[in-house]
Structure 1
Amino acid sequence: MFWRFVSFLRKDLYIELSYKFSFVFQFAGIFFQITLFYFMAKFVGQGADRFLVNYGGSYFAFVLIGIAYQSYFNLALGSFSQNLRRDQMLGTLEMMLMTPTSGQQVVVLSASYDMLFTSFRIIIYIGVGALFFGLDLQHINILSCITILILSILSFSGLGILSAAIIMYVKRGDPVVWLFSTLNTLFGGVYFTTDVLPPLLKKLSLLLPMTHTLHAFRQALLFGAGIEDIITEIMILLVFSIITLPAGLLAFKLAIQQAKRHGSLGQY
């Protein structure tokens, strides 16, 4: 399994490095986005302070973590289906499924590069914010941040694999990506705290893994919250992972079997 993981990682890395300008512009885009929200935070000023008491009173710190994780969630959610579609178009999906690697391993390993690279992007977001824009990291709890990051990968991946299963079955049109991307943007606490939402929508936000991820990560990053301080969010994300990951893998297995029966494995 380990060497299969390395093989998939090398394959995707070679593909990315073959488009050098795109690779470089991804990092340039991070700096531009951080700069944009830095000045937006100045524009918002003290108007949002009363809603940010539990987050250190800094809208820049609040929204920086939000956009870093939103890009992570969106890529994690879409990378499985996008890589599946790419392999279908290149004609490599059928060849990979003819190897001893199972369909579930193919879909999981195909996103290994994206997961590692996007985790690295979060570090870059936080690092650039600290080095150039005054983000205070003196209280950061590394263990808590890593724990939340791992649980985020597991819970987000389940939804992403479910998305890939739907693409395998219907070929076009994926409601999972659209639905969760929209809900996270509106109700996940990315750009504004869920405290400003009406009571009904605030309850809705609690059904999203993004809400619990961002709250726990902000507490660990800005206030040094330990595992015991964010244990509620950890348990919720663990439940999300236990439900969504097996469900996604099962759905993808069934979609592969259906495609093989109909001879549509390479259709897109």
Structure 2
Amino acid sequence: MADRFAVTAPATMGFAPSSVASRGAIILNKLLALITRGFLDASSYRLNFIGTYFGGVLYVVFYALLARFIGKPPAGVQAYGDYFTYLLIGSTFVRYLSLGMKHFSRELEKQMVAGTIEPLVATATSPAFALLGVSAWILVEGVLVMLLELAVGVFVFKADLARANWPAAIALAVLTLVALNSWGVISAAFVVVFKRADPLNWFVDLTAFIFCGVYFPVTLLPIWLRVVSYALPLTYAIEGLRGALMQGRTLGESGTHALILIAFDLLLIPTSIAAFRYALAYTRRTGSLGHY
């Protein structure tokens, strides 16, 4: 099984390294190889593969029915528009953006169980790239599922994105991905050292759907619970994305959300780098990378 999904040599991926951009081409080749490997692995389990996309469509159907059942937009939603679009944006983006928090550690743990981590690290690839790159396909697939859900929401259930400011939305999504992927790297470092998934992973879904405003504005929460909401980057991401996609706000008009997300990035990026370096140093010292 490991041979079937092995990462091929960079030269086979179709990018001939040049004297100017050889390193970038090699990195891109390896990234494409890891994405291809992830796709082949995922698609070999056909029911799960199809279920991922079918499940995304079912989410959209559920939110359309929920919005129809509720009827008039609840308090705090009217400023954005209709409730279905409000739910669609919140759910679609929060499930994608939270991928980085959960799937680095989950995919790394899965590869450790399969025994494919050590062969990857033994190649001419940096250990950090080999260990984290196994999740590349998960992030790509997340984009595909997100686009499918948005397409079904717009073309089938008439979600209103007529005023959407896509450049601002993409910028906010990137800022959020950086923060949450940094958290995901910290989770992956936990797996490298302790060989078990980050015990806080279960907390991600709970906080995202209750405290980050997926179903309702966080202003409806009691004041003492809003403290939790405003300590989470996803809260600012969802509010900013809804403003950009439903109200057409520019990045400047969402400046507060962007600045807070940048602050999370500046905090989590160095923390994640330090944590993963420690994890790699620990496995080199103990020789425990292949243990599980």
Fold-level similarity (TM above 0.5): yes
The Cα offsets for residues 176-198 of structure 1, whole Å up to 9 and x where unpaired, read as: 31233322222111111101011
Question: CA, structure 1 residues 179+28, in 2 after alignment: closer, same or farther (shift >3 Å)?
Answer: closer
Tell me how far apart the structure 1 counterparts of residues 289 and 123 of structure 2 sit (CA, whole Å): 15
Give the aligned partner of residue 23 of structure 1. Answer: 49
Which of 105-114 and 210-219 deviates more?
Answer: 105-114
SS, match of residue 189 in structure 1: coil
Give the aligned partner of residue 144 of structure 1. Answer: 168
Tell me how far apart the structure 2 counterparts of residues 246 and 5 of structure 1 sit (CA, whole Å): 23
Tell me how far apart the structure 1 counterparts of residues 266 and 122 of structure 2 sit (CA, whole Å): 29
Give the aligned partner of residue 94 of structure 1. Answer: 118
* One-letter amino acid of the counterpart of residue 44, structure 1: I
Which of 159-168 and 254-263 deviates more?
Answer: 254-263
Tell me how far apart the structure 2 counterparts of residues 71 and 226 of structure 1 sit (CA, whole Å): 23
* One-letter amino acid of the counterpart of residue 36, structure 1: F
Instruction: Give the counterpart of 1:225 among 226, 249, 252.
Output: 249
The Cα offsets for residues 30-81 of structure 1, whole Å up to 9 and x where unpaired, read as: 11111112111122222x532213322x221111112112321342222111
1:66 aligns with 2:90: yes
- 8 Å CA contact 1:87–1:93 kept in 2: the answer is yes
- Aligned counterparts, 1:1-268, within 5 A: 1-46=27-72, 48-56=73-81, 58-268=82-292
**Quick check: which has more Rg, 1 or 2?**
2
Q: Displacement, 1:109? A: 2.0
Tell me how far apart the structure 1 counterparts of residues 194 and 161 of structure 2 sit (CA, whole Å): 45
Which of 18-27 and 149-158 deviates more?
Answer: 18-27
- 8 Å CA contact 1:107–1:161 kept in 2: the answer is no
Q: Displacement, 1:173? A: 4.7
RCO higher in structure (CA 8 A, sep ≥6): 1
- 8 Å CA contact 1:159–1:176 kept in 2: the answer is no
Q: Displacement, 1:29? A: 1.1
Question: CA, structure 1 residues 152+121, in 2 after alignment: closer, same or farther (shift >3 Å)?
Answer: farther
Tell me how far apart the structure 2 counterparts of residues 156 and 107 of structure 1 sit (CA, whole Å): 17
Q: Displacement, 1:135? A: 0.3
Q: Displacement, 1:164? A: 1.0
- 8 Å CA contact 1:187–1:204 kept in 2: the answer is yes
Which of 221-230 and 197-206 deviates more?
Answer: 197-206
- 8 Å CA contact 1:161–1:248 kept in 2: the answer is yes
* One-letter amino acid of the counterpart of residue 116, structure 2: T
Tell me how far apart the structure 1 counterparts of residues 211 and 277 of structure 2 sit (CA, whole Å): 31
SS, match of residue 100 in structure 2: helix
- Matched-pair identity in %: 27
* One-letter amino acid of the counterpart of residue 101, structure 2: L
* One-letter amino acid of the counterpart of residue 127, structure 1: A
Tell me how far apart the structure 2 counterparts of residues 104 and 246 of structure 1 sit (CA, whole Å): 15
Tell me how far apart the structure 2 counterparts of residues 211 and 79 of structure 1 sit (CA, whole Å): 20
The Cα offsets for residues 216-250 of structure 1, whole Å up to 9 and x where unpaired, read as: 11111111111111111111112212221231232
Gaps of 5+ in 1: none
* One-letter amino acid of the counterpart of residue 290, structure 2: G
TM-score when normalising by structure 1: 0.92
Tell me how far apart the structure 2 counterparts of residues 21 and 142 of structure 1 sit (CA, whole Å): 33
- 8 Å CA contact 1:187–1:202 kept in 2: the answer is yes
Aligned residue pairs: how many?
266
Structure showing the higher helix proportion among its residues: 1
Runs of 4+ in 1 over 6 A off after TM superposition: none
RMSD after superposition: 1.7
